[in-house]
Amino acid sequence: MVRAMAFFSVFTFAIVASAQNPPVKVKFHEPKIDIREGGDEPTGPIDPTVRVQIQNSGGMAFGLSADGIRLTFGTESIRTMFKIDGNMVYPSAPLPTPLPAKTPQGKARHGFYSAYSHGSLQITHVVEAVPTKPAKAGEPRRLDAVLVRYIIENKDNKPHMIATRVRIDTHCNNDGALFAAPTRPGKILDGVELKGKSLPTYVQILQNPDLKNPINMGHFGLKFGSSMVGPERFVCTYHGAGENGWEVDIQNAMGDSDCVMYWKEQTVQPGGKITMAYSYGKGLASTSQGDGRVTLAFGGSFELGKLFTVTASIDDPVSNQTLELDLPAGIELVEGKRVQPVASPGPDFGASMVLWKCRVKELGEHTLRIRSSNGITQTRTVTASRP
């Protein structure tokens, strides 16, 4: 099944042709965005007030509060560890840098990033405020959670293995806050590991361990489809639980809770890139916000036999994203592969560009489609005609 959203805008302009013929008149009809069933569709307006407070430290450590809820004990409570080619590594990343205030498309951004290199692996840690799902249909979505990403790029000529572990000294206005999950209905989770079929899309943290009266609540987002790799295990444990290298002991919280998330070991191929991610905040993050959105622009001439360009600007590309251009019979592809990979935008986390050059073979109404590997298809209908 396909769901559709229409964005209403009509552009008309004339392109000057030779003196022998009147210029071609070009009309761009309203765009249409189709989201494949199972895709994460953003719904509702966004309240621009930023309700998360990120307390930064070095080494990819930070603390978090949201909308009056203290979600971690302190400013270094969220701590990251990697296992790289079998060796355990604590990143020595510097204090993070603020993200650019806006993307090239004008979308506001709030958050930080830091970079860490281990041999030929480049790991970029991004903590960014994102909107959450509204409590009621039609309500504005609040910026009361963060999406945390580890963008891992292999600059080597051989593959490398990497796994990630995040341990959090949790709080939720109660140092001994406990957990709940939709895969364990009606139960309070204490000293529990969630994995396999018991690993849910999200885990809740409750100020008061009572599902009917939690007082305040936070949410961990754990699953993101094919664009980002979520954790394979979520452990509810005690802040003082010991560690045997990679593994943290699973114990009852005893008034001082921790949680630990583990990502499965991944192979990063030479020149390859993967993104590991989770979200945390008061609400449950709407992960479709921003990632991999495509904006189209057209340039050049729509005169018969002349070249025009189709330029796709991709806002914060998702891992291994590709774009496919589908042309009608009246337009031919002259330059650029039909399916193209989307490159990393670089350290400024802006937009990436994909370009095709095309030629009109016959005048009339033409429908072009750009299909993204993250499940979104953008359709543009163009009419090229003589006055």
pLDDT digit string (tens) for 327-342? Answer: 999 999 999 999 999 8
- Distance in angstroms (rounded) separating the CA atoms of residues 384 and 363: 5
Name which of 206-215, 282-291, 353-362, 365-374 the model is least confident about: 282-291
At residue 306, the 3 state secondary structure works out as coil
DSSP conformation letters of 335-377: ES-SEEEPPP--TT--EEEEEEEEEESS-EEEEEEEEETTSEE
**Same domain, residue pair 271 and 307:** no
Within this chain, do residues 226 and 100 fall inside the same structural domain, yes or no? yes
Q: What is the mean pLDDT of residues 278-294?
A: 76
**Confidence bin at 319 (pLDDT 50/70/90):** low
Are 7 and 87 part of one and the same domain? no
Q: Determine the Cα–Cα distance for residues 44 and 283; give it in Å rounded to an integer.
A: 15
Same domain, 31 and 55: no
Interacting residues of 351 by C-beta distance below 8 A, sequence separation 6+ = 103, 104, 105, 295, 313, 314, 315, 316, 345
What average pLDDT is seen over the chain?
Answer: 87
Q: What is the pLDDT of residue 5?
A: 42
Give me the residues paired with residue 180 across strands: 204
CA 195 to chain CA mean position, Å? 23
Q: Say if 204 falls within a structural domain.
A: yes
Q: 95-99, 105-109, 130-134, 355-359: which range is least confident on average? A: 105-109
Q: Are residues 300 and 236 in the same domain?
A: no
- Residue 138 three-state SS: coil
DSSP 8-state code for residue 75: T
357-385 average pLDDT score: 91
What is the per-residue pLDDT across 159-218, written as a single tens digit (0 to 9) for each?
999 999 999 999 999 999 999 999 999 999 999 999 999 999 999 999 999 999 999 999
Residues 237 and 309 in one domain: no
Could you tell me the CATH number of the domain that includes residue 345? Answer: 2.60.40.10
Maximum pairwise Cα distance, the chain: 86
Using alpha carbons, select from 375, 276, 362 the residue that is nearest to residue 323.
Answer: 375
Instruction: Say if residue 270 is in the same domain as residue 360.
Output: no
Residues 268, 165, single domain; the answer is yes
Number of other residues whose CB lies within 10 A of the CB of residue 281: 28
What is the Cα–Cα distance from 312 to 354, expressed in whole angstroms?
5
Q: Tell me 230's DSSP state.
A: P
Domain match, 209 and 61 both:
yes
Query: Is residue 286 included in any domain, yes or no?
Result: no
140-161: average pLDDT: 95
63 shares its domain with 151: yes
Residue that is last in its domain, among 251, 281, 311: 281
pLDDT grade for 15, boundaries at 50, 70 and 90: very low
Give the end of a domain, one of 281, 299, 320: 281
Please check whether residue 162 lies inside any domain of the structure: yes
Establish if 242 belongs to a structural domain. yes
For tokens 């000294």, name the residue.
169
Q: How far apart are the first and last CA of the chain?
A: 39
Name the nearest CA neighbour of 278 among 168, 153, 189, 173.
Answer: 168
Q: Are 70 and 171 in contact (CB under 8 A)?
A: yes
Domain span at residue 338 reads: 2-41+291-385
In contact, 357 and 335? CB cutoff 8 Å: yes
Could you count the other beta carbons within 10 Å of the beta carbon of residue 253? 24
The yes-or-no verdict on residue 12 having pLDDT over 80 is no
User: How many independent structural domains does the chain possess?
Assistant: 2
Residue that has been written with the tokens 């953008």 in this structure:
378
User: What value does the mean pLDDT take over residues 267-273?
Assistant: 94
Instruction: Kindly state the average pLDDT of the residues 127-155.
Output: 90
How far is residue 291's CA from residue 375's CA, in Å, rounded to a whole number? 12
Q: d(Cα 249, Cα 238) in Å, to the nearest integer?
A: 8
